[in-house]
Structure formats: structure tokens, C-alpha cells
Chains A and B, each alone.
Chain A
Amino acid sequence: MKRFFTGSFLAMCVVALAVCFPSITHAAVAEICTPGSPASSASAPSGPTILPNIFDPHGPPARMIHDLSWLVLGICGGLFILVEGMIFYGVIFYRRKKNDKSKNEPRQVYGSNPVEIAWTIIPLLIVFVLALTTVRTIRSIELTEAPEGALQVVVIGHQWWWEYRYLDASIPGGEVVVANELHVPINRPVWLRLESADVIHSWWVPALAGKMDVIPNHTNYTWFNAESEGLYLGQCAEYCGNQHAGMLLRVIASKPAEFDAWLQTQIAPAVNDASVAMGRDIFQEYACSNCHTVKGVSDGQFAPDLSHLMSRQTIAAGVAPLDPTTLKAWIDNPQALKPGCNMPSLQLDPQELDAVTAYLLTLR
């Protein structure tokens, strides 16, 4: 028995440590792990990097969920303490005494109607409350049409990157296509139409909204409203094949004026710099142009639009920072950086590689 107690004491210490750890270390971890936003030649976002923590909401849907979650955590936490307390009380006070060798059996209790009715009715009332608050929150989050004045963006999930199409009457042609980094103005609702080009993905930026699946042949909608400037991180949340882990989400929220300026750069035609004509020719003649679009040069549909590549901070759907060295390594052998991805290595010789890299570096 003594051994049992030493054992239980040790185990409870472990459990207690495991339970306390989050609160003690969370601050420390947050400090250590602060935003190593990748070094970038492009304009850095004004504002902090916001980690994908569901308890750090920065806009309505995420905040509504956050508020509801405290109620749920409170109820479940209370039940946890109560029932674990009953278990441990039973274990400690009704164990057989150390020297009890008697054959006497305790009093046999077959049940008790009042008690059993009580522990049927009380849980029923608790889940009734939970169900009502759940339904109310569902109705305020799951909208059927775009909020007033929302920025409308189509999200298309691909294995393993994101395509964003901004729809707006003010844009020539009605839409502009970008890849992997979603820029939005702060304090304006953003209405996302979610579509998939291949398998199921899921769009999840925890600080902004809950996840919504991105399903082929089934259009979904979701929305968010970023309330502060910054870079919001997230990633694909539905297993979508080899590089599911390499399908990262970045939402850059900035002041409306900065957002408009950014949008203008994306609408502009691609830079056509005569000094890198060789790189552009290689880009056009080799397989690059089959998959990638550069406005006025190629119109491939299978891979990210590169017309304004250098306005982004990362490549390979957020897996690596966008700088000349990494870009060159990526073009040379994509499989080294993102094993299993769909971009092949074209076996370019060093001269060609330099030329293509130089060309891409001009696409501001």
C-alpha cells in the first residue's frame, strides 16, 4: 500500500506539472518563439507576426469562438474537477484497510432512484445550456451571404499552394490573381469563396476564424475581419497528400491605403526588363511557362502566378523565405526544399539557372 501511495503521489506530481506547465511556460515560449518572420527583400509587413493561437483572436469569428470556448472550458473544467474529485475520494476512502483480512463484505447497494435521476437530469440541463449557446454562436458566425461592404476573394486550394483571386469592379477585367499571401485591409470584412482544384484542403488562420474545408465541386464560404495590422499565420488543416505540412497560410493585414497600394502593384503588368531577356526566354521556352503565369509572357494555370513574385515574402507556399539564394536553390531542385511537391527540377545548367533567377528577381 505504501508503494502504491508513493506511486500515486509521483504520478499526481507529473499530472500537476503537465497541467501547470502551459501557464508557466506559455509566456516564456511565446517570447522565445517570437515571429522569426523570414528575412525578405520585399516590403516587410507593418505590424507583428500573429501566431496561430486560437486563444489570441484578432477579429469577430475567432473572438466569438474564443468567448464561447471559455464558457465551455469552464463547464468542462468544473465537471472534470468534480468527477475526478469523486473518483479520488472513492479510491482513497473506500480502499481496503491494510490489515483487513476479514471476509466480511460491505453493504450491497443496488441503486438509488433519486440519485440516479439526479445524475441524469443535471447533465441534461448542462448540455441543454451548451446546446443553446452553441446554436446561437453558429447562427452568428455561419453567414449565408457576404457582409455589407466586404472585400470578395476566391480562394482556390491546390496541391500544395493557395491561389487567391480578388474580385472587384474597380479592377480591370474584374479580378486579379495572386498566390499564397493574402493581403487584406484591416477593419473591413473579407468574404472568401473557397474552391479546390484537386483534393480537399482546409483554410485555417486561427487568429482570424475557424477552419473551413476547401472541397472540389462544392463551394464553401467563410469570412473574417482583421482588427489589427500584422502577419497572421495558419496552415492547411485537412490532409491533402504529400506536402500537407508544406501548405502554409499567410494573411497580411494592413491599413486600407497600404492595401490599395499593394493591390495596384498586383494589377499592373509584369515588369519587362530587357537586361534579363535571356532568363525570360528560358522561362518561356522551358517547361516553366506550362504551369506558371507571368502576365504578357505565359499563361500556365497549374502553379502560382509569378507576375509580381518579388512582392511576396516567401516561396513554396510559405515554406522558405524569398531571397535570391533560396530562390535559385528552389528553381535548381524544388524537391530538396519541399520533397514530393509537384514542381520538377528542370536540370538547368548553371548559366541558365542564373539567368532565370535574375529574370524572376525583376518581377516586382
Chain B
Amino acid sequence: MTTAPIHPTSETSIGFGSRVHSWVISVDHKKLGMMYIGAGLIFFMLGGIEATLMRLQLMKPLNDMLTPHGFNQMFTMHGTTMVFLVGMPVLLGFGNYLIPLMIGARDMAFPRLNAFGLWLFIFGGLLLYYSFIGGDGLYGMGGAPDVGWFAYSPLTSKAFSVGHATDYWILGIMVSGFGSMTTAINFMATILCMRCPGMTFMRMPLFVWLMFTVGILVLLALPVLTGAQVMLLFDRFLGAHFFDPQQQGSVIFWQHLFWFFGHPEVYILILPAFGMICEIIPVFSRKVIFGYPLMVAATLSIAFISLGVWVHHMFSVGLPPWLNSIFAASTFLIAVPTGMKMFNWIGTMWGGNIRFTVSMMFATGFLVMFLFGGLTGIMLAVVPFDWQLSDSYFVVGHFHYVLFGGTMLAVFSAVFYWFPKATGRLLSEPMGKWTFWMFMIGLTLTFFPMHLSGVLGMPRRVYTYQPGRGFELWNLISSSGVPFQIVGVLLLVTNIIKSLINGRVAGPDPWDAWTLEWATSSPPPSENFPKIPTCTSPRPLWDRKHPEDPDCFYE
């Protein structure tokens, strides 16, 4: 390991103001990626505060800590924040940081567009949060949006949503959505045009494959949401009647448009996590990924099928039996490629020599939790079962297992894995282990009992519940998981700050890994590589480290 200075003196000697300025004007994909992730983590804490307030309110029946209106704002903002301002930007941030490094490029294809996307996301988020102050408008009603993150009409119409809260929801999401679309275009252009010599499609790291697929999904799904939001704005301000049932508009039409976006969105949030796991598990198992071509095929089929399953969010809408049956079938079908991935990860660990770093622990945690979330997803695809479970706390438990137990655990795993690359410093492993167990305990305590309260008939989005229906115990246990998660987040933040100041120096390749980002210094220099690398196989660094047994023999 070389011990080059981590911060070139030219940067440490300049003033704070100029350093901030250099970040603000930056078009470097690494800085933009880190700003995406940093801003995402700040929104993550805001969303966490909202969740904490909800769990406090639901700790006991008929609690009056929050008003109904206050609670409804909390769940709307929590959902919207976690999906649009945490999940997407953090994952796009990782994509931004890693794609050029992994494919041996100097930067993204469109660096300025990249910066534009980041700032659109940040301003979109600020616009949404400004609703806490500005949503009252002239009516003295409102505050933050209270229509739920999928904003079903006609609750969003002028008649039921007075004031401007809903407008902030529409515009905030729309603005940050434009940012995500530019980033998706950028990802695809970069991956198509800027791979280093020798990097064919079937030699790309799986993370890059997954982000390419995410780019496709963002471009196909997000414009549909934006279009629907424009129609909603027309309804609210120009007297249109797209979603106005009193004028023969259709409220179900909104649901179709929203979920045509909304379901691919779920895969936009989970595919990058799959990509991270595909990179991390092989390195710590010391084995090549099991079945690379099948992984690529599974990814593409997940993306394709995910565009045709949206009606499974609408099984209780009263659509005809044949339609429900078709969408149940397509939803079952998507379990197959997802299952292949799960088995291939296990196949990768099988026969390996697994090093349990914190990153690998989080990756294993991902497998354990995501499996549970996936299986409850299959239950929800069974239409008649869904008629009971849909819109109950069971669903809340299900998607938190997928998005927290799945996506967020993968993100934490990725933070521990790539932090040394981005900063040159290793995160503290003992503190990381505490973080891991805090999250595992907190997640299980909070989200497992939700399945049970759902089965006992507790609907989601209720600001309180009646005593005597068997909900009390499960809600209390759910709330008791919150402190563990708060400690987990605080430990993670402390760990990051401490390691930035005096973490152990990482060197270019602390994990003895195989993809191109580990071939350059940590942190990588401006423009990433002194000399554009060449690629001989899916694991170019393995080939260099093991010239006697290179990957390219097995292609």
C-alpha cells in the first residue's frame, strides 16, 4: 500500500469559503456523487424524525400527541422524502461516483448536466420542505402536504386539499424528478460511450449493468409521473377535469398513471442495491460472482416485467377478474428472476472464504431481510389474500423490509465498502459492528410486528387506533425498535465524522478487490486515472493479481 498524502496541500490551505465554492461549482462526478449521498443522508434524518413522531403517536391507542392533520402530514412527508429525496439521490449518487471509475472513464458523459441534476434534486427537496412554512398560502390551511405519498385523487383536488400544500408536493417532486431524468440520460450515455478499451458489455461490473437498467426504468417511468402531475396542476389551477369525478373525470386514471411510475420506481430503488451486493459479496467471499450472464439476464427481465405489474397496487379497486389475474401472473413472474439473483448470491458465498467486515455483515443482513420482504411480496400478489392485506399494516411491514431491510442495508454496506475509496480513510470496524446490530435489532422490532397488526385488521395511515382490537402490543413493540435505529444512525454519522478526521489510511485497494475503481489512488485524482486503463475480463484487477489464472480464460 502506498501512503500518498490524502489531501493535497493546495486544497487544505485554501479558506473554507473557497472550499465550499469549489464544491458548488464542481462538475466532477466524484464531488457530485458525494453531494448526492450527503444531501440524501440529511433528508434521511429528516424522514427519520417524521417516522419517530409517528411511532410515538402510535405507541398507545387513542393517543393525542399529534393531531390527525399533523400525523397525516408526517406520513406523507416521510414517504415522499424517503422515496424521492433519500432513496433515489443516494443511489444515483453512488452511480455517479462509481460508474466512471468502474468503466475506466475520466468523468460522466455530460458533466454539466450532471451538476444540473444534482442542484435540481436539492432545490426540489427544499421546495417540498418549504411547504412546512409556505403551504398555508392565503387560506390559512395546510402546512406540509397531507395527501399520502401517492396522492390519490380526488383528495388532491381543490375541494379536498385547500391551500398550497399539494402544489408544493407536485412541484417539489417534479423539479427533483427532472434532475433524476437528466442523471438517467447521463448514466446511459456514459455507459454506452465511455467504457475503457476492452470493456465489452459482458465485462462490465454488475453494478454498472444494474445502473444502466435503472437508467432505462427512470426514463420510461418518471415522465409518466411528471405528466400526471402536470395534469393535476391543470385540474387545480386551469379548471381541467382529468381526475375530477364530479365532471366525469376518473380517479382510477390517476392510480394507473401513478403506479405505472410507482412500480418501476420500486425497482429503481432496489436494483442499485442489487448492484452493490453483486460487487460486495464476491470480494468478501473471495469468489467470482456466480453466474454472471444469468445475473445480467435476470436484471433485464426484472426491468422488463416491472413495467407490467403496476395493477398489483390496485387489486382492491374493483377491476375485472381477468385483469386482476393477468397482473397477479406478471407479479408472480417477477419473483423468478429475483429468486435467481438471491440464489446466485448464495452460490457466490458457497465455497468461499468469507471475511466478515462490517460491509459484508450489512450485505448478509440485506440477504436475510430482503428475502423476508420478497416473500411477503409474493403473498401480496395472491389477489384474494391482497384483498385482506392491501392497505393494512402488513403492507407497511412488507415494503419496509424491502426498502429499509433491502435498499438501506445495501447502502450502508456500500458506504462501508466505498468510503475508503472516496476519502482515503477506513471507517471504524468495531463501531460499524455496533451500527449493524443496532439496525438489525431495530428493524426487526419495528417492522416485524407491523405484519401482525396488519393481519389483525389495522389499516395503514391511521393517526390512532381503537383499543381492544389486539393492536396495542404490536404497536408498542414497533415503537420500541425506534431507539435502536436512532442509535444506529448516530453511530454511523459519528463514525463518518471521526474517520474523516483521523481514520486509518486506506490505500488504493484496502479490500483486495477486482474492479477498476480500486486501480487508482484513494481518493481518486481529478479525472480518475493517470492513464486510461484497459480491461481484459469482468475482473481486470484479478487478472493483474493472478496472471497464472486470469478470468479471461473462462469467458
Point out residues on A near B: beta carbons under 8 Å. Answer: 1, 3-4, 7, 10-11, 14-15, 18-19, 22, 25, 29-30, 33-36, 51-55, 61-62, 64-65, 68-69, 72-73, 76, 79-80, 83-84, 86-87, 90-91, 94-96, 100, 105-112, 115-116, 119-120, 123-124, 127-128, 130-131, 133-135, 137-139, 141-142, 159, 194, 198-200, 202, 204, 206, 209-213, 215-218, 220-222, 233-246, 248, 339-340
Contacts and interface: CB of A to CB of B under 8 A. Distances in A.
B441 A14 contact: yes
A84 B444 contact: no
Contacts of A112: 290-291, 347
A105 B549 CA distance: 11
Given A80-B372, A105-B353, A116-B344, 15 more contacts: A33-B470, A79-B375, A80-B375, A86-B346, A90-B354, A133-B382, A137-B384, A209-B387, A211-B316, A215-B245, A215-B252, A218-B318, A242-B69, A244-B72, A245-B68
A87 B69 contact: no
B399 interface: no
Contacts of B375: 76, 79-80
A211 B335 contact: no
Interface in B231-250: 245-246, 248-250
B351 A94 contact: yes
B469 interface: yes
Interface of B: 67-69, 72, 148, 152, 154-155, 159-160, 245-246, 248-252, 285-288, 290-294, 316-318, 320-321, 324-325, 328-329, 332-333, 335-336, 339-340, 342-344, 346-347, 349-356, 361, 364, 367-368, 371-372, 375-376, 378-379, 381-392, 433, 437, 440-441, 444-445, 448-449, 452, 455-457, 459-470, 472-473, 477, 546, 549, 551, 554
A72 B336 contact: no
Contacts of A237: 316, 390-392, 459
Nearest to A90: B349
Contacts of A1: 356
Contacts of B148: 239
Given A18-B445, A84-B371, A127-B335, A213 B287 contact: no
Most buried by A among B288, B386, B469: B469
A275 to B, nearest CB: 36
A19 B368 CA distance: 15
A221 B364 CA distance: 46
B67 A340 contact: yes
Contacts of A199: 152, 154-155, 160
A55 B456 CA distance: 8
24 contacts: A14-B445, A61-B384, A62-B388, A65-B385, A65-B387, A72-B382, A83-B346, A90-B349, A90-B352, A91-B364, A106-B287, A107-B287, A120-B294, A131-B328, A133-B382, A137-B384, A194-B318, A202-B316, A215-B245, A238-B316, A239-B155, A242-B69, A242-B72, A339-B67
A216 B246 CA distance: 8
Contacts of A72: 378-379, 382, 385
Given A3-B433, A217-B245, A243-B68, A69 B385 contact: yes
A110 B445 contact: no
Contacts of B349: 87, 90-91, 94
A112 B353 CA distance: 19
Contact of A35 (B252, B379, B468): B468
Contacts of B292: 110-111
Given A18-B448, A91-B354, A111-B290, A105 B546 contact: yes
Nearest to B365: A11
Given A36-B467, A91-B354, A216-B245, A211 B388 contact: yes
A128 B549 CA distance: 42
Contact of B384 (A134, A221, A242, A340): A134
A244 B461 contact: yes
A141 B148 CA distance: 30
Contacts of B249: 217
A121 to B, nearest CB: 9
Contacts of B381: 130, 134
Contacts of B392: 237
Contact of A134 (B320, B382, B445): B382
Contacts of B457: 51-54, 204, 206, 233-235
A111 B250 contact: no
Contact of B251 (A142, A210, A212, A217): A217
B354 A95 contact: yes
Nearest to A133: B382
The 5 tightest CB contacts between A and B, nearest first, are A210-B387, A52-B457, A217-B245, A245-B462, A220-B318
A204 B364 CA distance: 38
